[in-house]
Amino acid sequence: MDARSWMWIAWPAFLAAAIMEMVVFAFVDPLDAHWMGAPLEWSRSAIYTVGFFVFWLVTMVGSLMTRMLARSAHELNGGIVSEPWVE
């Protein structure tokens, strides 16, 4: 994939992660976060940062799968279109 395709993946994922960050942390206090039953001993900004990168990673995977499904026949096999196999 070229740089343009990566920007089609990264930029919408970044915007979606930013929106998710605002919505989630408008309702969730980061200091109330627990991991496997124990409270996290991180600062608010650390939890905001990790949360943003987790949201960005998840939305980037979704964008990557969308980009992979949108590939044309030319991108998949260099434009070679084969005939269906008949027995």
User: Which ranges in the chain belong to alpha helices (H)?
Assistant: 3-27, 44-69, 73-77
Name the pLDDT band for 71 (thresholds 50, 70, 90): confident
At 13 the pLDDT is 94
User: CA 14, CA 66: separation in Å to the nearest integer?
Assistant: 15
57 vs 35, more confident = 57
Spatial contact of 10 and 37, defined as CB atoms under 8 Å apart: no
Average pLDDT over the chain, rounded to whole?
Answer: 87
Looking at residue 41, its pLDDT comes to 86
Enter the tokens of residue 47. Answer: 């939890």
Return the DSSP state at 69: H
Q: pLDDT value at position 79?
A: 67
pLDDT of residue 23: 95
Answer whether 0.85 is exceeded by the pTM: no
What is each CA distance from 54 to 14, 39, 59, 75, in whole angstroms? 11, 19, 9, 30
Percent of the chain surpassing pLDDT 90? 43
C-alpha dihedral, 32 to 38 to 43 to 48, nearest 10°: -60
Domain ranges of the chain: 3-72
